[in-house]
Amino acid sequence: MDSALQTHVEALAAAIEADRSAFDAIRPPADPSSLDALLDRQRTVRGRNSFLPFMGTGRGWGPFVENLDGSVKLDMVTGIGVHAFGHGDPELLRVAIEAAAGDTLMQGNLQCNQEAVEFVETLLGEARTGDSALEHVFPCCSGAVANETALKICMQKRGGAPRVLAFEHCFAGRTTTMSQIGDSAGAREGIALNLPVDYLPWHDATDPAGSLDRTLAALREAIRRWPGQHACIVLEPVQGEGGFAPAPVEFLRPVLETARASDIPIWFDEVQTFGRTQTMFRQTWTGLESLVDVVTVGKLSQVCAAIYTADMNPRPGLLSGTFIGSTAGFRVGRRIIERLRDGGYYGTQGKIESFHGHFLELAGELMREHPAAFPQVEGRGGPIELAGGCGGMMRLTPFGGDKARIIELVRGCFDAGVILFFCGHGPVHLRMLPPVGVLEKGHLDTAMRVIGDCIGAMEAAS
């Protein structure tokens, strides 16, 4: 970039930074009227209420974000796992301003600029660990489209095989096809069902041996019943919407090797796990890279993508589309990957692992303070852990996993200044996807103190 332009970029970024660095703590609302008016307008155009009374002003700092009523919230959900470096990160802001000085806002399949290639190469550099054969990348604008891409690649490779193997409680996005793969009744309602999905039980941490036996039996039965008919087996290495449930290598290896023995392509959906666990790609943590044919990513990468081996490379005509991403998405996404890669986040001594450890300690304290709010929840082989997840995917299971009470808690915490969400199909869990890039243990302390206060208030009221 020419130096005169660079000077303006620096000045603009510095001015924005000065304006935002005041957002460094939770603040109560100043004036709810403008928020209420805008939420009303949103309700009218959307045809429904938004889940939380939130409408960002566009100002925020680190994990803190300003709501239109003047309140400042501690954001522990980050747009469902998108803002890894929180709000108003000074360096990402500079990169985005530079991107805005580019000639176009959007980039496409027919014509793109160099940053698209640089993003894709950086992403691929992180995907190719161990004996991974991943080689090509198709960037796109949503996790669901990345998943559609993966499915099309697998189907073509298998000569139009019509069936999919997936896991109970999985989530894959909201296109008509992905709604059929995702294991949620509401998402299938009113959809013409044209994709047969054979569901396998996911790993059950309360009964690991029995769980593996049941899954292998179901997989062998599906392969016996429909030989050569499966386009792929798709899995989230840590289930996201299904309840922040990781599966260990001891479970994944035999299951995936069984699929591989029948030439069924293996697709890791890392749209939610990407960047958030002990390794940037969860497939790296499993050490099963040689078995992986396709990986999809999204959310904190800013640009979504399907990554696949040379052997899966589809014939011309299968993949395209007008947009592949925005100029700022490519540039900021690349910096996010580089900063996560170089910033000491991964590995057993990495920041992400230590945040998770701290979260579990705080959860233990919370359960000791509020024992009545944490009754046992029975899994198939015994009680489940009431705090869990993996890395920057954190879950807590108060009130026996009762959905209505957990939603009440999410709303109470929002009013008290902490943005949270929920996951799981029963039990339901309180869910955090914090901004791991800028998180400090003190932010977790604050979030858990607010959760504790709100649990206390709910207990007192009942």
Ligand X SMILES: Cc1ncc(COP(=O)(O)O)c(C=O)c1O
- Cα separation, 300 vs 82, in Å, equals 4
Q: Which residue reads 């869910």 in tokens? A: 431
* Residue placing its CB nearer to ligand X in the complex, 142 or 184: 142
* Residue placing its CB nearer to ligand X in the complex, 68 or 150: 150
Name residues contacting ligand X, limited to 154-213 (CB under 6 A): 171-173
Helix (H) or strand (E) holding 429, with range, is: strand 429-432
Alpha carbon distance, N-terminus to C-terminus of the chain: 61
* Residue placing its CB nearer to ligand X in the complex, 301 or 397: 301
Q: Out of 67, 147, 180, 279, name the contact with ligand X by CB under 6 A.
A: 147
State in angstroms the smallest separation of the CB of 295 from ligand X. Answer: 11
- Cα separation, 158 vs 89, in Å, equals 44
Q: Which residue reads 């925005």 in tokens? A: 326
Q: Per-residue contact track with ligand X, 67 to 96, x per CB under 6 A? A: -------------x----------------
Does 422 contact ligand X by CB under 6 A?
no
CA distances from 195 to 185, 220, 229 (A): 15, 20, 12
Using Cβ positions, the residue closest to ligand X within the complex turns out to be 143
- Cα separation, 222 vs 93, in Å, equals 50
State in angstroms the smallest separation of the CB of 283 from ligand X. Answer: 14
Name residues contacting ligand X, limited to 239-258 (CB under 6 A): 240-241
Q: Out of 88, 143, 246, 424, name the contact with ligand X by CB under 6 A.
A: 143
Stretch that binds ligand X, among 21-29, 42-50, 87-95, 236-244 (CB under 6 A): 236-244
- Cα separation, 123 vs 115, in Å, equals 12
Name residues contacting ligand X, limited to 276-305 (CB under 6 A): 298
444, 450, 456, 457: CA torsion to nearest 10: -160
* Residue placing its CB nearer to ligand X in the complex, 174 or 225: 174
State in angstroms the smallest separation of the CB of 76 from ligand X. Answer: 16
Q: Out of 57, 113, 129, 142, name the contact with ligand X by CB under 6 A.
A: 142
201, 205, 207, 209: CA torsion to nearest 10: 80
Tokens of 126: 């992180």
Does 144 contact ligand X by CB under 6 A?
yes
Stretch that binds ligand X, among 22-30, 139-147, 347-355, 446-454 (CB under 6 A): 139-147
Helix (H) or strand (E) holding 184, with range, is: none
CA distances from 26 to 22, 57, 72, 318, 414 (A): 11, 15, 5, 49, 11
- Cα separation, 461 vs 75, in Å, equals 26
State in angstroms the smallest separation of the CB of 229 from ligand X. Answer: 24
* Residue placing its CB nearer to ligand X in the complex, 69 or 241: 241
Q: Which residue reads 């309180």 in tokens? A: 430
Q: Per-residue contact track with ligand X, 257 to 276, x per CB under 6 A? A: ------------x-xx----
State in angstroms the smallest separation of the CB of 134 from ligand X. Answer: 18
**Pairing status of strand 163-167 against strand 230-235:** parallel
Q: Which residues bind ligand X (CB under 6 A)?
A: 80, 142-144, 147, 171-173, 236, 240-241, 269, 271-272, 298
